[in-house]
Chain A
Amino acid sequence: MSKTNRRQFITKAGALMGAMLAAGIVSGSAYAADFATAKVNTTKLAVTDTTVKVGILHSSTGTMAISETGSIQAEKLAIAQINAMGGVLGRKIEVVQEDGASDWPTFAEKSKKLLEKDKVAAVFGCWTSASRKAVLPVFEKDNGLLFYPTFYEGLEQSKNVFYTGQEATQQILAGLDWIAKEKKAKTFYLIGSDYIWPRTSMKIARKHIEQHLGGKVVGEEYIALGDTQFGSVINKIKLKKPDVIYAAVVGGSNVAWFKQLNAAGLNSKKQNMLTISVTEDEVLGIGGENLEGFYSAMKYFQSLKNANNEKFVAEFKKMWGPKAVIGDVTQAAYLGPWLWKAAVERAGSFDVDKAVAALPGYEFKEAPEGYVKVDSNHHLESKLRVGKWLANGQAEVVYESDLIKPDPFPKGYQ
């Protein structure tokens, strides 16, 4: 802020305070006077002199509710914290929450409602790739702004979306490098749920194992979403004796997968496994004792030791209860409102085009995961960690990579 600006600001603020006191309104929005609504909002978004509306669009009902609830909680925490600091450009954030109901067409309908009826300045939401694919055309047509929290398969880059989770190469390559070196692994068995994310991830993993690690993939299996019969897969694994099982099994199938592995005697003492789909949230359902000693590759674990994270975990538990756990996606969802605040303040405007243009290059040093930087391809530069699961459902971080640049369209891995 330049000197003139500051002086103007003080005069204006004084005038406004006077006016407000006269009207009997006490509010902390003096700062807003420096950013006249007509100037910071030229595209008819729901921005007033004192408030700005944003949307939260996750599933609070249906099969995905168990995963998405953490994201809703994290986004609400971040918004509450931002409001406590005075809001964005002096305006308090008001949340319009919609339920995607684990149903992709509902996601499309609700995103349209948020953008066309509520005129929200940004939306924090979606979890599965399918829901993101369903809303993407809506955001592109209505020029909305979406912050998407889940680690995902990549192969996408939209002007209207910021991806706060990791794309596939960020999550896969460093983790495979680590386990190949640490466990001297040569043979890998790939297993995943049957949809786009595991399939793309396994494609990348296979190329990396074969071309860069000099290893061999001895099996690749996909099981239908929600399937709970792993008997034949486990028999094949016993026959092939891979050095490492590389797993991307999601949702309810996870519980059956780990329990049946244990029942078949394949616990971590006999078998190495690296998964890219298990966070603290899933462990709640699976039970820590069932995956004790197995590894997950994520960018965030609740047990991370740094000041940002300790504060974040404490405030999360204060808001949502001492039993709440925080997984990778929950942390990524928490970044959304903060990144949006930064974008709007760097742009000095709520306009989507200006905010989008202002965000790349921004470094968020208060992130619970430590540090992230927004890349020009709308993904985040972040680190990868490998966590070893403990019986109490928490992970011990055994490896941390350097910062990894996002690469949603990886050359040589297609």
Chain B
Amino acid sequence: MNETLSKILGGKQGAIGLGILAALILVLLPLGLDPFRLGLVGKYLTYAFVAVSLVLLWGNGGILSLGQGIFFGLGGYAMAMFLKLEASDPVSTAIQSTPGIPDFMDWNQLTALPWFWEPFKSLPLTILAILIVPTLFAFLIGYAMFKRRVGGVYFAIITQAIALILSILIIGQQGYTGGVNGITDLKTLLGWDIRTDSAKYVLYYVNAALLIGCILLSRYVLSSKFGMLLLAMRDKEERVRFSGYDVSNFKIFIFCLSAMISAIGGAMFTLQVGFMSPTFIGIVPSIEMVIFAAVGGRMSLIGAVYGTLLVNAGKTMFSETYPELWLFLMGGLFIAVVMFFPNGLAGIYDKYAKKVPFLRKLSEESPKARKAETVLVETKEAGVKA
């Protein structure tokens, strides 16, 4: 294996873990589940983007954001605006006072499309918006916070406040945003009906491929020198700063990257579920997404995906079987995970994998948990050499 490739895959063990995940979501689940259940898995996998982004940001960077819903929502809304404009052609909206604008604008006495909706008439601009708007927003927040050395609990609280503000703004401006109902009744993407079973399969695979792509990208970032610095920063921020690195720039970068990954998840959510609403932006969903990452193990990119799948499958199953009791069962699950497996699913794997000879051999080959100090020394030396 050449070096870059091995870096991206995370060594032999990483490659096997990824291979198992890929086999599960690309082959086993599509074969074993009917279209309805597979659609649910597709929806859960869009949340996994956020969980992966939190592994980067929180697990490795030590920056806890309780507002990842902001970026998931921005990506989702950008996609929804494009689809809504396509669904609001003058013919199908002929009964409105002003045909050709989205229905909720008409209900709110708007008579023309607001200017900021105009770019969403074009798909390329929409895709750009999905990638750039959340990243730019993260940059602004990150710049304002990290340059002033705001971190830890304060940063978490501020992200939470921003999530709340944004959801209130969207609910309040219902003529422009669809308000509390969200943007609903999305039908086609460039004339292609996204509601059919075949479309669901295509979207599922696109989504799964993008997710694996994001995991590979994250692996690459984490395995680089930057990734080591990130770990060092998490454990001993002052030392990294005194070693001459500009810590705030690294933090801003990882925050922007996590925002972009979350936004891709949001856009895929809208495509698969067919609507977007402010319920995904507020505080509760943002915290839920942190729980997904925590259940999976906040250090493990792949664990985050399993964590998301497990929590959501539990939610669906419990609520189908016990409609009156399921919230208590979910609460019990979270308490059990935190009490008995503080490192989440990945922690369980690490603990018990060592007992299986084959797996132990693998894990010895790629020592994973290096202490921050050693990492720092190594990187510093690498920096000196370079």
A contacts, CB < 8 Å to B: 60-61, 97-99, 101, 103-106, 108-110, 112-113, 116-117, 129-130, 133-134, 136-137, 141, 153, 155, 194-196, 199-200, 203, 224-225, 409, 414
Contact = CB atoms under 8 A, between A and B. Distances in A.
B386 interface: no
Contact of A60 (B168, B184, B187, B323): B323
B95 A196 contact: no
B353 interface: no
29 contacts: A60-B323, A98-B320, A104-B275, A104-B277, A104-B279, A105-B279, A105-B280, A110-B319, A113-B36, A116-B36, A130-B182, A130-B277, A133-B184, A133-B185, A137-B184, A137-B185, A137-B187, A137-B195, A137-B274, A194-B171, A194-B172, A195-B171, A195-B174, A196-B107, A203-B109, A224-B168, A224-B171, A225-B180, A409-B95
Interface string B315-356: 010011001101100000000000000000000000000000
Contacts of B107: 153, 155, 196, 199-200
A109 B181 contact: no
Contact of B179 (A61, A113, A195): A195
A106 B109 CA distance: 30
Nearest to B96: A414
A199 B174 contact: yes
B180 A196 contact: yes
Contacts of B320: 98, 113
Given A133-B181, A195-B181, A224-B171, A98 B319 contact: yes
For the residues of B in contact with A, the DSSP-based class is: helix
Nearest to B276: A105
Contacts of B168: 224
B287 interface: no
A224 B165 CA distance: 12
B319 A108 contact: no
A13 to B, nearest CB: 37
A134 B36 contact: no
Contact of A108 (B97, B171, B274, B327): B274
Nearest to B40: A109
B69 interface: no
Contacts of B133: none
Interface in B350-374: none
A194 B187 CA distance: 27
B275 A99 contact: no
Contacts of A99: 319, 323-324, 326
B251 interface: no
B98 to A, nearest CB: 10
A13 B104 CA distance: 54
B39 interface: yes
A225 B171 contact: yes
A97 B321 CA distance: 9
B184 A414 contact: no
Interface string B161-185: 0000000100110100001111011
B84 interface: no
B203 interface: no
B108 interface: yes
Interface residues of B, number: 39
B180 A195 contact: yes
B323 A97 contact: yes
A130 B174 CA distance: 12
Contact of A101 (B40, B187, B319): B319
Given A60-B324, A99-B319, A196-B181, A134 B275 contact: yes
A272 to B, nearest CB: 28
B319 A196 contact: no
Contact of B275 (A137, A196, A200): A137
B168 to A, nearest CB: 7
Contact of A134 (B43, B108, B277, B319): B277
A103 B279 contact: yes
Interface string B11-43: 000000000000000000000001110011001
B273 interface: yes
Nearest to A57: B323
A70 B159 CA distance: 38
Interface in B278-334: 279-280, 316, 319-320, 323-324, 326-327
Contacts of B171: 194-195, 224-225
Contacts of B103: 155
B39 A130 contact: no
B87 to A, nearest CB: 10
A136 B39 contact: no
Given A105-B273, A109-B316, A224-B171, 18 more contacts: A61-B326, A61-B327, A98-B323, A103-B279, A112-B39, A116-B36, A129-B181, A130-B180, A130-B182, A134-B277, A155-B103, A194-B174, A195-B174, A195-B179, A195-B181, A196-B181, A199-B107, A199-B174
Contacts of A137: 184-187, 195, 274-275
Contacts of A141: 195
A155 B96 CA distance: 9
Q: Which 7 A-B pairs have the closest CB atoms?
A: A99-B323, A130-B181, A116-B36, A133-B184, A195-B180, A133-B181, A414-B97
B184 A134 contact: yes
A137 B172 CA distance: 24
